[in-house]
């Protein structure tokens, strides 16, 4: 299976998925892929960092968040934010996650078209797993809020692997748990590190432009990019895939 590096050409996008037939499994990231959670993470980081006087008390920008934090593993974020005091960084991340859990329980919403995609997968009996760098309590809460607890057959958490994303191990572990072939699987991802992990695993990875800049996602060579699960490009590609079975 050849993964196309083109993100914008619909004909190439359709052809690239057709090669996956018969489709066996669909793997999803969680943050920004199942739900539009980045604004909640950004708010929690911004408020907590400002409170402790990070960067002289100047609030972090959305650009700073997208480039340095979004999609990354908590341990790596702790080291990045507090390179001279990693224990403090870990405590900060715990405090930040507590704020995020509160915000998520009140404000979390699904990415547009998610439940249409869910039904398509269920109707075809495809295997499915969630693969995330989020802490397990966060991941389970988000999945529960979205009503997907019974949908996923497996949940792979980066901190429970030897390597988190952008390493391919979490996605390879999900394939192993599902007993699915990487040549017949699709990954949905929204972050640079997530797309990098999916591509490195040798799986067709569709980037979803929830919040992260298109040019940054394209640098990681996803199969193609979509705006949401309602994107006509996605459904044209899935229709073509089915016709090749």
Could you tell me the residue range of the domain that residue 100 belongs to? 38-107
Average pLDDT over residues 69-97: 94
Catalytic annotation on 230?
no
| Catalytic entry in 9, 29, 84, 85 | 29
Contacts 24+ apart (CB under 8 A), 44-53: 44/96, 44/97, 44/99, 44/100, 44/103, 45/69, 45/96, 47/99, 48/92, 48/95, 48/96, 48/99, 49/81, 49/92, 52/92
Q: How many domains does the chain have?
A: 2
198-209 pLDDT per residue, tens: 999 999 999 999
CA 65 to chain centre: 16
Q: How much of the chain is in helix, strand and coil states, percent to nearest 5?
A: 50, 10, 35
| Same domain flag for 18 and 95 | no
In a domain, 5, yes or no: no
In a domain, 78, yes or no: yes
| Same domain flag for 58 and 174 | no
56-77 pLDDT per residue, tens: 999 999 999 988 998 888 999 9
Terminal CA-to-CA distance of the chain, rounded, Å? 15
| Same domain flag for 59 and 140 | no
- Residue 220 reports pLDDT greater than 60: yes
Give percent of the chain above pLDDT 70.
Answer: 94
| Same domain flag for 16 and 115 | yes
| Catalytic entry in 31, 36, 38, 231 | 31
In a domain, 1, yes or no: no
Catalytic annotation on 29?
yes
**Radius of gyration, CA atoms only, the chain:** 18
| Same domain flag for 212 and 174 | yes
Read off the CATH number of the domain in which 223 is found. 3.40.50.1000
- Residue 182 reports pLDDT greater than 70: yes
- Residue 26 reports pLDDT greater than 60: yes
In a domain, 161, yes or no: yes
* Crossing angle of the two packed helices 232-243 and 10-18, in degrees rounded to 10: 40
| Same domain flag for 97 and 208 | no
């Amino acid at each position: 299976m050849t993964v196309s590096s083109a993100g914008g050409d619909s004909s190439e996008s359709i052809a690239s998925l057709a090669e996956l037939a018969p489709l066996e499994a669909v793997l999803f990231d969680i943050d920004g892929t199942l739900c539009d959670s980045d604004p909640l993470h950004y708010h929690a980081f911004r408020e907590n960092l400002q409170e402790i006087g990070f960067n002289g008390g100047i609030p972090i920008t959305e650009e700073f968040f997208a480039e340095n934090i979004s999609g990354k593993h908590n341990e790596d974020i702790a080291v990045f934010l507090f390179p001279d005091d990693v224990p403090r960084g870990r405590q900060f991340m715990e405090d930040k996650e507590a704020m995020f859990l509160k915000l998520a329980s009140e404000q979390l919403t699904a990415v547009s078209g998610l439940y249409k995609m869910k039904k398509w997968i269920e109707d075809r009996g495809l295997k499915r797993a969630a693969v995330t760098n989020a802490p397990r309590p966060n991941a389970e809460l988000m999945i529960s809020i979205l009503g997907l607890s019974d949908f996923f057959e497996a949940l792979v958490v980066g901190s429970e692997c030897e390597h988190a994303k952008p390493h391919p191990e979490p996605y390879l572990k999900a394939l192993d748990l599902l007993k699915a072939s990487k040549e017949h699987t699709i990954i949905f991802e929204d972050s640079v590190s997530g797309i990098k992990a999916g591509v490195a695993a040798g799986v067709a990875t569709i980037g979803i432009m929830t919040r992260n800049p298109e040019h940054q996602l394209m640098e990681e060579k996803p199969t193609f990019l979509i705006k949401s699960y309602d994107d006509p490009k996605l459904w044209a590609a899935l229709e073509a895939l089915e016709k090749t079975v």
